């Protein structure tokens, strides 16, 4: 437990003009970690001095960013099994105070609405048709074509709120819901485009890799085949590579989300965010 009197005394010293004193106070408050946040936020509300307000805000961000880094590292080291958990950690970077249960409830609601209408004997194509009907026609999810570079397209809480996202964020929500319904839909890391594959484990042909068909979550769940992927790669002048056809890992998906965010913030000229997101990318690109 931290001592409130001590914390508040340190916070009052944050606007000290002496660089050494400021650095010492800054490090000491940083060492308290998440427990210091509520005291810092209270002090921010009461502060009249712009310098002090800015220093408090920066310190809160630094503590919260430290938590995101630690959470991402634990997720990665733990095997990155839960894609929803991974994407929520990325969301925490921009929305640290978000009630994550709300996101989980929104996903559960869509899943429930699909499940109610799902027939046990539905064929794979019929299953996808039903998901598409609920996801796009009833809930109104669409690809954000007008503002594709907007970083908000990559934060799951915002995509669920606005019903607009980029290729990968829509595909992530789509595949999480499908997998919760025991429908084997997984992400495929296609260059310049992120698609989904419907897997059928009974198909053990090496060439097809057990894939029945592909789904474009950005284009209302459009179903297409392997030859379309061949054509797409040909247009990009890319040679055949197995990874362009087969499901990728959750770590690869989160890497791609982070790269999208880096590119979006570069576009906006937010150098600090680009640096921080590169730090997050390094965590999961490491050995």
The three-point CA angle 108-88-210 to 5° equals: 70
Could you report the per-residue pLDDT of 44-65, keeping only the tens digit for each? 778 777 777 888 888 889 999 9
Could you report the per-residue pLDDT of 194-225, keeping only the tens digit for each? 999 999 866 554 445 688 999 999 999 999 98
Please give the pLDDT value at position 205.
Answer: 46
Burial class, 145, CB count within 10 angstroms (exposed 0-12 / middle 13-18 / buried 19+): exposed
Query: For the stretch 7-32, what's the b/e string if a residue is b when 16 or more beta carbons lie within 10 angstroms of its beta carbon?
Result: beebbebbbeeeeeeeeebbeebeeb
Angle between helical axes of 167-180 and 124-132 (0-180°, round to 10): 120
Could you report the per-residue pLDDT of 89-144, keeping only the tens digit for each? 999 999 999 999 999 999 999 999 999 998 777 899 999 999 999 999 999 999 99
Contacts of 7-11 with CB under 8 Å at 24 or more apart are 7/32, 7/36, 7/39, 8/39, 8/43, 11/39, 11/40, 11/43, 11/56
Reference 15, options 55, 61, 58; nearest CA is 55
Burial class, 94, CB count within 10 angstroms (exposed 0-12 / middle 13-18 / buried 19+): middle
Per domain, the residue ranges of the chain are 4-77, 83-285
* Residue percentage of the chain with pLDDT more than 90: 60
């Amino acid at each position: 437990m931290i001592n409130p009197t001590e914390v508040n005394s340190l916070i009052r010293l944050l606007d000290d003009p002496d660089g050494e004193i400021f650095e010492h106070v800054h490090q000491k408050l940083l060492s308290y970690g998440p427990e210091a946040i509520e005291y810092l936020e209270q002090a921010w509300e009461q502060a009249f001095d712009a310098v002090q307000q800015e220093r408090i805000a920066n310190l809160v961000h630094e503590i919260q960013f430290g938590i995101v880094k630690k959470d991402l590292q634990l997720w990665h080291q733990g095997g990155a099994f839960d894609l929803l958990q991974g994407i929520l950690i990325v969301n925490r970077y921009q929305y640290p105070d978000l009630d994550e249960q709300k996101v989980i409830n929104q996903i559960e609601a869509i899943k429930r609405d699909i499940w109610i209408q799902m027939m046990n004997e539905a064929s794979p194509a019929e299953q996808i048709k039903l998901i598409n009907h609920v996801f796009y026609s009833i809930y109104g999810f669409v690809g954000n074509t007008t503002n594709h570079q907007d970083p908000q397209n990559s934060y799951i809480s915002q995509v669920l709120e606005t019903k607009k996202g980029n290729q990968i964020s829509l595909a992530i929500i789509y595949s999480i819901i499908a997998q919760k319904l025991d429908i084997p839909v997984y992400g495929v890391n296609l260059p310049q485009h992120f698609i989904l594959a419907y897997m059928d484990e009974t198909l053990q042909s090496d060439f097809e890799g057990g894939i029945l068909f592909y789904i474009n979550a950005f284009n209302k769940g459009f179903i297409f085949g392997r030859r379309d992927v061949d054509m797409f790669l040909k247009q990009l002048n890319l040679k055949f590579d197995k990874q362009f056809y087969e499901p990728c890992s959750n770590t690869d998906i989160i890497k791609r989300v982070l790269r999208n965010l880096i590119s979006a913030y570069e576009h906006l000229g937010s150098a600090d965010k680009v640096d921080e997101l590169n730090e997050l990318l390094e965590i999961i690109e490491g050995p």
